[in-house]
Amino acid sequence: MTASQKRNLVTGGAGFVGSHLVDRLMEAGEDVICLDNYFTGRKANIARWIGHPTFELVRHDVTEPISLEVDRIWHLACPASPVHYQHNPIKTAKTSFLGTYNMLGLARRVGARLLMASTSEVYGDPEVHPQPESYRGSVNTHGIRACYDEGKRVAETLCFDYQRMHGTEIRIARIFNTYGPRMLADDGRVVSNFIVQALRGEPLTLYGEGSQTRSFCFVDDLVEGLIRLMNGEHSGPINIGNPGEFTIRQLAELVRERIDPSLDFTLLPLPQDDPLQRQPVITLAQQELGWEPTIPLRAGLERTIADFRCRLAA
C-alpha cells in the first residue's frame, strides 16, 4: 500500500449499496476490507474482487467488537428494507446501536474517520415537506418501523457524542430511497417489487391509491455523495438523495410501460406508519459537497430492469 492509499473498512460491504461503494474504492486503487454477516449481503456482489491483493473479505457481525487497523470506516451495516428490518426488530435495533457503538470504538482506538449511513426514516412520517436536515422528525417510537427509525436516530446520537467526548471524526449521511442493480428481489422495496412483479407478468401492488410520494436516487449518485461527504469537512447530517418527487403510482406506470403495459394494478391497504411523503432538501449537499444527482429516474430504471432481467433469467 502506498502512502496515498487509504485502508478502508466497509461494513455491510457485500450488500446493495456497500458493494457499489467497494467497487468505487477498489477502482480508485484503495485498500478495502469488506465486512458482512450476509443477512442481506451476497458474496456474489463482491466476487470480482475476491483474491485481489488490496481486497479482504471478513465474515463478521458488527454487534460483536472487532480489532482492525484502518484509516476510514464506512459504516453501512444494517438491514434497510422493511421486510428485512422487521424480520427481527430486536436484532435491527441491536445492529443500529451496538454496531455503531463498536465501529465508533474502533474509530476512536485507531484514529479513523467514520461515515455512518443514516436514513431519511429519521424524519418518520414528516409534518414538514420537503425535509431539511434541521427538521427533527415525527417518529412513532413504538410502531413496527421504530426498530429501524429509532435505531438510526440513536446511532446518530452516538456518533455526535463520540465526536464531542473523544474528538472522533464522524460523517453522517441521511440516505433517501435508493435503487439500482443488485437490489434483492425480495427486499420489499417499491422499485424492486414493481420490477419483479412486472417481469413475472403479475399485477403491480399499490398500497392505498399509490398517492404517497418518494424521491428515488440511483445508487451511483448515492455512492458519489458518500465519497464526497467522507472526503469533505462537514460532519453532517447531510441529506443524500434525489429531490425529484414521484407518486408510487407514477413509478408503477413507468415500470409497467417499460416491461408490459397490459399489466393491472392490485390495491391493498397502507401499511402501519408508512410515510405519505418523502423528499429531501439537498441544499446543504450542494453547498458543502458540490453534489447533486445526475441520473434521472427513467435512465436509472432502464439499468435496474436490465439487471433484474439478467438475474431472474439465470
**Mean predicted lDDT score pLDDT of the chain:** 95
Q: Which of 275, 282, 285 is nearest to 123 (CA)?
A: 275
pLDDT tens digits for 237-288? Answer: 999 999 999 999 999 999 999 999 999 999 998 877 677 889 999 999 999 9
**Domain contains 153:** yes
Instruction: Give the pLDDT band of residue 1 (cuts 50, 70, 90).
Output: low
pLDDT number for residue 283: 98
Structural domain count of the chain:
1
Please say whether the beta carbons of 177 and 215 come within 8 A: yes
**Domain contains 214:** no
Tell me, yes or no, if 85 is annotated catalytic. no
Domain that holds residue 232: 7-177+219-241+279-294
**Domain contains 54:** yes
**Looking at per-residue confidence, does 187 or 103 come out higher?**
103
pLDDT tens digits for 133-166? Answer: 999 999 899 999 999 999 999 999 999 999 999 9
Preceding amide of 65 cis, omega within 30: no
Instruction: Give the pLDDT band of residue 82 (cuts 50, 70, 90).
Output: confident
Any bridge partners for residue 280, and if so which? 131
pLDDT tens digits for 196-215? Answer: 999 999 999 999 889 999 99
Distance CA 148, CA 145 (A): 6
**Domain contains 203:** no
CATH number at residue 34: 3.40.50.720
**Domain contains 309:** no
pLDDT tens digits for 86-139? Answer: 889 999 999 999 999 999 999 999 999 999 999 999 999 899 999 999 999 998
**Domain contains 204:** no
**Domain contains 268:** no
Tell me the helices (H) and strands (E) count for the chain, helix number first: 10, 13
List the catalytic residue out of 85, 101, 123, 148: 148
Preceding amide of 130 cis, omega within 30: yes
* pTM (predicted TM-score): 0.95
Query: What are the cell numbers at 268?
Result: 391493498
Instruction: Give the pLDDT band of residue 29 (cuts 50, 70, 90).
Output: very high
**Domain contains 207:** no
